[in-house]
Structure 1
Amino acid sequence: MALVAYSDSESETENTRPSSPSPPRPAKRLRGEQTSTSSSKKDGDKATSLPPLPTGFHDLYAHSTRVSVRDDPSLHGGRKRVIPHVEGNWPTHLYLEWYPSKTEVSILNDILSQARGQLEEKEKEKEMKIHTLLYSDLGAQLPLHISLSRPVVLVTEQRQPFSELFRDAVLDSGVNPFDVTLVGLDWVSNYEKTRWFLVLRVQRPENDGLNRLLKVSNQSLAVFGQPPLYETLSQQSLPESRGRSKKGTLPRDKKGADKTAKASEQPAVDYSHCFHISIAWSLNEPSPEDRERVANVDLSALRGFRVHFSSVKAKIGNNVLNLALPTKKLHERGFAGF
């Protein structure tokens, strides 16, 4: 694999990441002990299934290899960089991540194949190419997500204060782990309308966790002057501005997390119709006929399909902060149940 030169800001993040533990040394074999290698297995023996990777593994490799610091759409299937690369700026995204099982990926892949079949005529006429989000260009499975923020930018001195504020707000939000169900196929665009996404709509969970976490995310970002997702600035009730510096940093003794958490308990507007999980993307805008076509895709395989979320993630640059949602016991008795 070729080495990639990173900027100073990226190198700083890489240096702060804990190094991977060294693999354990194999134990010495006793004299006469029979070795068990793949070559000694008899034909017909079933291979032992490997255990699943730890949840934190995907956070270590949540960013792709950078090929160029310049915006070169030819390197990314025609996609244009939404946030230009600027030294000292840290692209930031808040989201809920879902890593589907092999069975779930198979179902999603079948739905995507049906959608492509429905749009096959249009693809020939408009050269409308649909790119999967289930796998990378090298065929590796990719995690899916529900966004809780737009792609926004923090500067270097805001990274730590924002991480602390958002961590406290999520912990105090009272939002426990929850499940969502998938209810429909649709097209949505990004804010710049440079890409359109084939998405699965999600149903409002019982504890209204999506709306409440959206409120926490929007208000946490508002402290640092960042725009909200789905909400308009006029709808957003901002935390008190006193105690904030011009750069949006917060003093250590006053983070404003209490106001952010309390506001999340009763969201003013229901944005359940906005939340979605993207499974593919295209550079071409779908027509009304295209929307009708994908609406006719058979989604019966999704009946009883439940996606579980137990944490919120904040990706700041190439560093991922994984924040576990408090359980009922933690919420009632405090941190770690004490």
Structure 2
Amino acid sequence: MSLVQYSDSESESESRELPPCKKSRHDPKPGSSLPPLPAAFHDLYASSTRVSVQDDPSLHGGRKRAIPHVEGNWPTHLYLEWYPAKEDLSLLTELILHAETSLDQNAPSVHSLLHSDLGAQLPLHISLSRPVVLRTEQRAPFTELLQKAIHVSHISPFEILPDTLDWASNYDETRWFLVLRVQKPAHDGLNGLLNLSNTALARFDQPPLYAASSHKHSQNRALSRGDKGSTLLEDYSNCFHISLAWSLSRPTAKDRERVAAIDLRALRERRITFDSVKAKIGNNVVSIPLEKEF
């Protein structure tokens, strides 16, 4: 399972990548009565102000930068974005509070990913890639390749339903995340987009998310032919998730059991719609729409 909330700086990043998938104190912020902002507005202001280019965990709640700043390198992340509505935000806030109170008494605080330190609502996401790095000259061809692949795939907008709560760590086990796992959507849109993402990244020698890198050459051939790659799809439905909060503490077995037992019936009735793929390269966010059926 993997989990990525990625930006051009680890000081801005709220989540980190988790290991390959295995089978298997915040205050609530008041909602606004104003209408939601257009999705394109969030793309223009996807990054907060950079505090430092040096790795100073004291500036970021103990988090450490995974990808250092290097001239000519562009941190890149592919994902599906979700801005929860007011009612959903309230439900998620309650879940995080419940999860925090279920931890052992001496556990460090749980940090919500729902709002920034200044109280602004933050987007949540389902990752379609690891945090990877593109060179300056690769940005445009990669974006064009991904746009074409998504267009010819004919993957339509789809809905997902929340499923279960869980705790999961990053690769280095330096942070643990409260994650909301999701049910497999109709027409398998998540696996389809993951395959396209892994295939496009493999063309630029970047590692896949979840999938084994041994599939790189066959994926490249499929992409060059414009195939949808249906015969290459593997089912990683148990890996997809939305990160809600993070902690520096390893949850105990009892912590995980308590979180898994939290009642999610109200949240499971909420449908989350995705109609585009986001490609964040440095501070620039490109929104690639999914093709609507007529």
Query: Is the TM-score greater than 0.5?
Result: yes
What RMSD over aligned residues (CA atoms) do the two structures have, in Å?
A: 1.9
- Matched letter for residue 317 of structure 1: G
Could you tell me which of 214, 220, 226 is aligned with 1:239?
220
**Distance in 2, Cα, partners of 1:139 & 1:109:** 13
- Matched letter for residue 278 of structure 1: S
**Distance in 1, Cα, partners of 2:208 & 2:226:** 14
1:224-235 alignment to 2 at 5 Å?
224-235=204-215
User: Per the alignment, do residues 179 and 204 of structure 1 end up closer, same or farther by CA in structure 2, a change over 3 Å counting?
Assistant: same
User: Per the alignment, do residues 231 and 134 of structure 1 end up closer, same or farther by CA in structure 2, a change over 3 Å counting?
Assistant: same
Residues 168, 257 of structure 1: 8 Å contact kept? no
Q: TM-score, normalised by structure 2?
A: 0.85
- Same amino acid, percent of matched pairs: 60
Could you tell me which of 199, 220, 240 is aligned with 1:275?
240
Residues 162, 180 of structure 2: 8 Å contact kept? yes
Correspondence for 2:67: 83
Kindly report structure 1 stretches of 4+ aligned residues shifted beyond 6 Å: none
User: Per the alignment, do residues 50 and 135 of structure 1 end up closer, same or farther by CA in structure 2, a change over 3 Å counting?
Assistant: closer
User: Per the alignment, do residues 260 and 217 of structure 1 end up closer, same or farther by CA in structure 2, a change over 3 Å counting?
Assistant: farther
Structure with the larger RCO, 1 or 2 (CA within 8 Å, 6+ apart): 2
**Distance in 2, Cα, partners of 1:259 & 1:286:** 46
**Distance in 1, Cα, partners of 2:171 & 2:152:** 30
Residues 199, 223 of structure 2: 8 Å contact kept? no
1:69-218 alignment to 2 at 5 Å?
69-119=53-103, 122=104, 124-125=105-106, 127-218=107-198
**Distance in 2, Cα, partners of 1:165 & 1:94:** 13
Could you tell me which of 36, 39, 51 is aligned with 1:55?
39
Correspondence for 2:228: 262
Matched residue pairs, number? 264
Deviations 1:22-57 (A, max 9, x none): xxxxxxxxxxxxxxxxxxxxxxxxxxx543211101
Q: Which runs of 5+ in 1 are unaligned?
A: 1-8, 11-48, 241-255, 330-338
Greater Rg by CA: 1
- Matched letter for residue 116 of structure 1: E
Deviations 1:69-121 (A, max 9, x none): 101110011000111111111000000000011111001111111111111xx
1:282-293 alignment to 2 at 5 Å?
282-293=247-258
1:4-15 alignment to 2 at 5 Å?
none
Q: Which runs of 5+ in 2 are unaligned?
A: 1-7, 10-32
**Distance in 2, Cα, partners of 1:314 & 1:305:** 26
Larger deviation, residues 173-182 vs 295-304: 295-304
